[in-house]
Amino acid sequence: MMSYQEMHQCSISQPAEFWGALAEELHWYRKWDTVLDDSNAPFFRWFVGGETNICYNAVDRHALGPKRGQAALIWESPEADQSRTLTFHELYREVNRLAATLKALGVQKGDRVIIYMPMVPEAIFSMLACARIGAIHSVVFGGFSISSLANRINDAEPTMILTADAGLRKGLPVPLKEIVDESLELATVDTVKHVLVLERGIVKNTMKEGRDLDWQTQVNEHGKPYVEPERMLSTDPLYILYTSGTTGKPKGVVRDTGGYMVALHASMGHIYDVGDGDVYWSTSDIGWVVGHSYIVYAPLLKGVPTIVFEGRPDHPDPGVWWRVIEKYGVTCMFTAPTALRALRKFPEHWMQQSDLSSLKRVFSAGEPLDGPTYDWATAMLGLPVIDHYWQTESGWSMIANSVGIEDLPIKSGSPTFAAMGHHLEVVDIDGNPVPRGEKGLLVDYPPLPPGMLLTLWNDDDRYLKSYWTHFKDKQLYLTGDYAIHDADGYFWLLGRADEVMNVSGHRLGTREIEEVVSSHPAIAEASVIGVRDELRGEAVLVVSVLKAHIVPAEQDKIANEIRQLVRERIGAIATPHGVHFVSTLPKTRSGKIMRRVIRAVYQGDNIGDLSTIEDDATVDMVREAVEIMKGEF
């Protein structure tokens, strides 16, 4: 048995040997020529020359072997009051039928397909069917709305969109097909030939002749029992997943096929300590990276049943999650601090009513796991909640307690040590390591391990600018987070260093929301800031200046309109928690809004050392801004 230190050291010092051995555990049509090609750094390529298919590895490999009759996908929907379990064989059949249908409708290798679906089995069939035929899927979270979807359509230029009549949120329909229609109206590209609509019988659809097609009819007509999986190069894109950046335009994170597959497969054993006999439940949504990796690909690659849950932790009551664990004997659960915080509010009997003795491991990611939540969950579950840190770009853990290798002592609030293949450091603005225990920027030394983003879709330049060009003479991957590396080697995350918020574990760009707020006719200028929130981690605060002719009596109405506008255009997750009107927004020398000042004053923080609060302002400017803001809130 290797220790964590040995394993990690080996992954850093001999990456080709380390990852090459792990790749052998999977199926390749053609073996790679080179494990790692770093000749065009920072565009790292893994298993170059190798040919594989991730759908074959996640589905066929098990359906054609002894796991054929074993549960693969368990769908539990308190929203629709339905459940369904598919074996690997049944999943194989469904994926083949849909893959044949997509092909018959003209989807080709390399085409982009947007999946805008609720958490139903068909959404997972869709991802796997795309992967099977070599189409690049781009799943858009079903909680995002018109502008968000239109932006993604414009960027990905899909030939097809897969959707459903509606999703359900606390029993109320979210009319997905209608949102697709409106997004296509708003989009500036005209690449979508078909919209395939899953009819769940929740709302009535209007179907556009020639473009919109009924899912079931098409699958009945074109479905085939077998579609040869496309032989994909390891370096071919598997998917695009959009995430927020510091501009209004979302970043299309591009994932490869082979590197991602190898890293995810290895992570199941090394990080989650999961293998045969386990039942895995990631409570996320397929619209997020956690859902891509740990609802769909990783558990299936490992051949363990994955639970697909359509619902919320507190609907129809706060006992629903715990009943799912008891019903299916979940052994490993992967959740988020925001959900645990929400559940902590309810009386303990909701949890105590269910038998949770099957649980062996509980993980959390997406935002810092705060002490009180960690203490509560650990005591209630009788298990330590294992925090781990990663981001959309990484596809899997960057910092983790790799319990499958070695259970390291937990320090509550720290996600522990660098994950395999990640060589992390905390540095100053010049890229030099800061002394242990001091705050700095969290960076990853090249080469990036398999599974990390290839680039940003159609935008190599933005990839370089966003992640690689911050330090003059050093090529380091910038995570965008502040961190501390302590004397024992534990990492502590201190929040984003850029203008990106983390609301309920999900990244939202301030620019995206500002653009929507500024489109309101009464607004002269707006700033969006993430502020501390007990339940969500961060909440969206809008601070804006009204146009001169607006009278104070109209403020409440305008605030409500702004909330509504953001919900409609971006989605409920971005709904502003607070909307404040001020007479002026404080700015730095170069005209940047002093967000840190506004945030600090709003939160009532101790302003402390004013010299570091804004990069681009004098101490006097900051002091004056603090005084102005104090008068405004």
470: β partners: none
- Is the separation of the CB atoms in 63 and 92 below 8 Å? yes
Q: Is residue 339 near ligand AMP by the rule CB under 6 A?
A: no
Phi, then psi, of 134 in degrees rounded to 5: 80, 15
Q: How many residues does the chain have?
A: 633
Q: Is residue 389 near ligand AMP by the rule CB under 6 A?
A: yes
Residue from the set 212, 367, 515, 614 that interacts with ligand AMP by CB under 6 A: 367
572 DSSP assignment: G
Burial (CB count <10 Å: 0-12, 13-18, 19+), residue 291: buried
Nearer to ligand AMP, 59 or 156 (CB): 156
Nearer to ligand AMP, 75 or 260 (CB): 260
Q: Is residue 243 near ligand AMP by the rule CB under 6 A?
A: yes
- Is the separation of the CB atoms in 41 and 475 below 8 Å? yes
Nearer to ligand AMP, 287 or 303 (CB): 287
Segment contacting ligand AMP (CB under 6 A): 58-66, 114-122, 147-155, 362-370? 362-370
Instruction: Identify which of 222, 220, 63, 80 has the alpha carbon closest to the alpha carbon of residue 128.
Output: 63
- CA atoms 188, 190, 191, 195: torsion sign: positive
Instruction: Pull the structure tokens for residue 233.
Output: 């190069």
Segment contacting ligand AMP (CB under 6 A): 39-47, 147-155, 454-462, 474-482? 474-482
Q: How far is the CB of 505 from ligand AMP (least distance, A)?
A: 7
Q: How far is the CB of 281 from ligand AMP (least distance, A)?
A: 18
Q: How many Cβ atoms from other residues are within 10 Å of residue 183's Cβ?
A: 25
Instruction: Pull the structure tokens for residue 387.
Output: 């925090």
Q: Is residue 141 near ligand AMP by the rule CB under 6 A?
A: no
Segment contacting ligand AMP (CB under 6 A): 140-148, 313-321, 340-348, 382-390? 382-390
Residue from the set 261, 365, 594, 629 that interacts with ligand AMP by CB under 6 A: 365
Residue from the set 480, 530, 571, 586 that interacts with ligand AMP by CB under 6 A: 480
Q: How many Cβ atoms from other residues are within 10 Å of residue 533's Cβ?
A: 17
Element (H, E) at 578: strand 578-581
Nearer to ligand AMP, 15 or 291 (CB): 291
Strand (E) positions, 16-128?
Answer: 34-37, 45-48, 51-52, 71-77, 82-87, 112-116
For 581, the 3-state DSSP assignment is: strand
Q: How far is the CB of 336 from ligand AMP (least distance, A)?
A: 9
Q: What angle do CA 581, 586, 587 make, to 5 degrees?
A: 135
Q: Is residue 479 near ligand AMP by the rule CB under 6 A?
A: yes
Instruction: Pull the structure tokens for residue 556.
Output: 């409440």
Q: How far is the CB of 393 from ligand AMP (least distance, A)?
A: 7
Segment contacting ligand AMP (CB under 6 A): 54-62, 454-462, 473-481, 574-582? 473-481
Q: How far is the CB of 399 from ligand AMP (least distance, A)?
A: 7
Q: Is residue 502 near ligand AMP by the rule CB under 6 A?
A: yes
Residue from the set 391, 401, 544, 588 that interacts with ligand AMP by CB under 6 A: 391
3-state helix, strand, coil split of the chain in percent (to 5) is: 35, 25, 40
Segment contacting ligand AMP (CB under 6 A): 65-73, 360-368, 510-518, 596-604? 360-368
Segment contacting ligand AMP (CB under 6 A): 81-89, 102-110, 314-322, 478-486? 478-486
Instruction: Pull the structure tokens for residue 284.
Output: 């996320």
- Is the separation of the CB atoms in 120 and 86 below 8 Å? no
- Is the separation of the CB atoms in 288 and 263 below 8 Å? no
**Which of positions 198-227 make contact with ligand AMP (CB under 6 A)?**
none
Task: Please report the DSSP string for 103-148 in residue order.
Answer: HHTT--TT-EEEEE--SSHHHHHHHHHHHHHT-EEEE--TTB-HHH
Residue from the set 496, 511, 580, 587 that interacts with ligand AMP by CB under 6 A: 496
Residue from the set 506, 536, 569, 595 that interacts with ligand AMP by CB under 6 A: 506
Instruction: Pull the structure tokens for residue 190.
Output: 């005209």
Nearer to ligand AMP, 387 or 425 (CB): 387
Instruction: Identify which of 162, 161, 99, 89 has the alpha carbon closest to the alpha carbon of residue 129.
Output: 99
For 504, the 3-state DSSP assignment is: coil
Q: Is residue 510 near ligand AMP by the rule CB under 6 A?
A: no
**Which of positions 399-438 make contact with ligand AMP (CB under 6 A)?**
415
- CA atoms 218, 222, 227, 230: torsion sign: negative
Q: How many Cβ atoms from other residues are within 10 Å of residue 216's Cβ?
A: 13
Nearer to ligand AMP, 196 or 441 (CB): 441
Residue from the set 165, 387, 515, 614 that interacts with ligand AMP by CB under 6 A: 387
Q: How far is the CB of 233 from ligand AMP (least distance, A)?
A: 26
x/- letters, 285..324, toward ligand AMP (CB under 6 A):
----x-----------------------------------
Residue ranges that bind ligand AMP, judged by CB under 6 A: 243, 289, 365-368, 387-392, 415, 479-481, 493, 496, 502, 506-507
